[in-house]
Amino acid sequence: MNAQPAAVAVPEPPLAVLLELTHRCPLACPYCSNPLQLVGLRQELDTAQWQRVLEQAAELGVLQAHFSGGEPTLRKDLADLLRHARAHGLYCNLITSGVGVTRERLQELQRAGLDHLQLSLQDSRADGADRIAGYAGAHARKLALARWCGELELPLTLNAVIHRHNAERVGEMIELAVELGAGRLEVAHTQYYGWGLRNRAALLPTRAQFDAASAAVAAARERLRGRLTIDYVTPDYYARRPKPCMGGWGRRFVNITPEGKVLPCHAAETIDGLQFDSVLERGLGEIWRDSDAFNRYRGTAWMPDPCRGCEHRERDWGGCRCQALALSGRADTLDPVCEKSPDHAGLRALAERESQAPAPEFVYRRPGR
């Protein structure tokens, strides 16, 4: 007999808020997970509006503010926003490509209240990294920024996105993280949303590449224990069980887009039929607690069989709704990553087929496309 689904309770405050200050970015990465339709400069929230968001986040009980994009350092008011966040007791993390950030700007941001920096890493080698970024010289600029973090004693995390064109160099990327003095490295296989989904056939690693990368991570974790923390995000298309996307829909995380829409995850706008409230019209706390979009897939009551009777239902929270939509055509069905899904076998066959075929050319994310 299936267990009864739990009712949606008043949610705990989110741990973190991701502030997408802008969709503007100097890079053209083919795995970009931002929406296909980007928000323009004129639609971005202004300084005062973002400051109100930070105030409301602190009132709600949020602990961490993650400043992201696009490229958040393109915002001239970033230091002002950091100061405002710190004044309201928020831990401040910057997620950046590192391109265009000078040592002087980094010092300014640190003085304003920056606690931690996350730097994207496209490859261990300049030619591969610059090819993925679509930006000549990007890799050298990233390495310089990472070294400045060490000089300024600013905690650093490197985020390495893995795909078929760099999977063999996971070991080199781990060694580079050690050399640069990073405290944490996230080795994350590409997640196929937005532009990444468009380039899936060019990016999917083979099963052999995935296995080799996983072995490299496991060996490095043992060897570097206590020296470098390594997080590992596996490619969903080879998994047997779904991951708890964002810790579960509407449970621990809130995403705010450049124009102020409040989302349970960065890809949620792909789901038709959901209305996402704006911080320009409702308070952040009210949206978090009461909006239909957050409550639609929060908890377990929404789940179909066999999810609602599954022993893992409060571990993976049904997996990813956006991925279920992209691969099965419905957001309210099983995530095809789950081996119990009727679409699971087809997903595995797709992964094997696309990863074994010759990789097509990248479709870069350029302005105006």
Binding residues for [4Fe-4S] cluster, by number, are 25, 29, 32
User: What does the alpha-carbon distance between residue 36 and residue 164 come to, in Å, rounded to a whole number?
Assistant: 23
- CA quadruple 12, 13, 19, 20: dihedral, nearest 10: 20
Rounded to whole angstroms, how far apart are CA atoms 147 and 153? 10
What is the signed CA dihedral for 220, 223, 228, 230, rounded to 10 degrees? 30
In the three-class reduction of DSSP (H, G, I as helix; E, B as strand; rest coil), residue 122 is classed as coil
- DSSP letter for 297, please: T
Quote the CA–CA distance of 193 and 259 in Å, as a whole number: 20
- Output the known binding site: 25, 29, 32
User: ∠ CA 300-267-261 to the nearest 5 degrees?
Assistant: 95
State how far the Cα of 92 lies from the Cα of 58, in Å rounded to an integer: 12
Q: Are 292 and 300 in contact (CB under 8 A)?
A: no
Residue partners of 146: CB distance under 8 A and separation at least 6: 98, 119, 156, 158, 180, 181, 182
